[in-house]
A and B are shown apart, each in its own frame.
Chain A
Amino acid sequence: MDELDRAIINRLQGGFPLCARPFAAAAAELGTDEATLIARVRALLEDGTLTRFGPLFDAERLGGAFTLCAMRVPDQDFERVAAQVNAHPEVAHNYQRDHAFNMWFVLATQRREDIARVMDAIELETGLVVYDFPREAEYFIELRLAA
């Protein structure tokens, strides 16, 4: 990664222009040219430095229902419970964390009422309580990772 790659990552995490030739406009800001910028973005995607280049959507604002759930899973049951939870297609991601609340997952459904249905099903299957933590307010500005 050289200085131009760093500049692309540091200065293009938002504000990509909405105009006919956005790479040309952004390249001018970065002191390079359109073809170079396109090639660099492609290379950063290919080597995994960038996961995507384009619009970052707010899934919740696009519609559907979401919540963050957590469970306190006894160590000896952890793998079984992880398999039971992950089997639900509504479980978008699931992380193990080092805490008494050791399993954290996001539920994403088309309809609000489906959230409770999936939580009930997981409680029934696992025999454990599912705690839900819906977002009540968003204080998130924007993450800008420095390269």
Chain B
Amino acid sequence: MSKASLDERLVRATQAGLPLVTEPYAALAATLGVSEAQVIERFEAMLADRRVRRIGAVPNHYALGYTANGMSVWDVDDAEVDALGPRVGALPFVSHCYRRPRRLPEWPYNLFAMVHARSREAVEAKLAEIRALLGQALRAHDVLYSTRILKKTGLRLG
């Protein structure tokens, strides 16, 4: 028997997804030698502490036509960034919205927001919305479009 915790074993068993059967949690439980109730309880716990962000469909951006993905970066007043950041993160076209350190003088930006849209023109329109939201707290901004994926192995979890 592995010494890994049930949570770690569940992470490994579902990295590729849930079994597509009528009773997926019972199927996982049978594989792991535990009860269905334990599997459900552990997922509830991992959702509660956000080790699991959500359970459901993970779409492929490109397949849905979201081919323009810009990493927008913003120099926002330190006194206001923690109030404004969640409002940027709540915009429907933004994912991965984080505060990160500046690296002065080369890099003045402290707020990173990934913007997804179907064209660069649409990304630019969405950047205007963020600009308006940040208002007077905004000092400078830029957007970096990806031009090539150099490596994509995914994260090895568990």
Contact B25 A62 (CB under 8 A): no
Partner pick for A93 among B64, B107, B152, CB 8 A cutoff: B152
B residues near A19, Cβ cutoff 8 Å? 40
Contact B150 A95 (CB under 8 A): yes
28 contacts between A and B (CB under 8 A): A14-B53, A14-B54, A15-B54, A15-B55, A15-B56, A41-B20, A41-B57, A45-B17, A50-B57, A51-B58, A51-B60, A52-B57, A52-B58, A54-B56, A54-B58, A58-B50, A86-B150, A96-B148, A97-B144, A104-B71, A104-B144, A108-B155, A134-B100, A137-B85, A138-B97, A142-B53, A143-B116, A147-B64
Per the CB 8 Å criterion, the residue count for chain B at the interface is 72
Question: What are the interface flags for B1-25 relative to A under an 8 Å C-beta threshold, 1 for contact and 0 otherwise?
Answer: 0000000000100111110111111
Identity of the chain B residue whose Cβ is nearest the Cβ of A66 in the assembled complex: B155
Number of A-B contacts (CB under 8 A): 222
Question: What are the interface flags for A37-56 relative to B under an 8 Å C-beta threshold, 1 for contact and 0 otherwise?
Answer: 01001101101111111111
Name the prevailing secondary structure of the B interface residues: mixed
Contact B63 A133 (CB under 8 A): no
- A-contacting residues, B30-78, CB 8 Å: 36, 40, 43-44, 46, 49-61, 63-64, 66, 71
Distance A147 CA – B59 CA, assembled complex (angstroms)? 9
Tell me if A128 is interfacial: C-beta within 8 Å of chain B: no
Per the CB 8 Å criterion, the residue count for chain A at the interface is 73
Report the 4 A-B pairs with minimum CB-CB distance, sorted nearest first: A14-B54, A139-B85, A139-B89, A143-B95
- A-contacting residues, B140-155, CB 8 Å: 142, 144-155
Excluding A13-B58, A51-B58, A142-B95, 13 further A-B contacts by CB distance (< 8 Å) are A56-B58, A61-B49, A61-B50, A86-B151, A91-B151, A95-B148, A106-B155, A131-B106, A135-B98, A136-B100, A141-B97, A143-B116, A145-B59
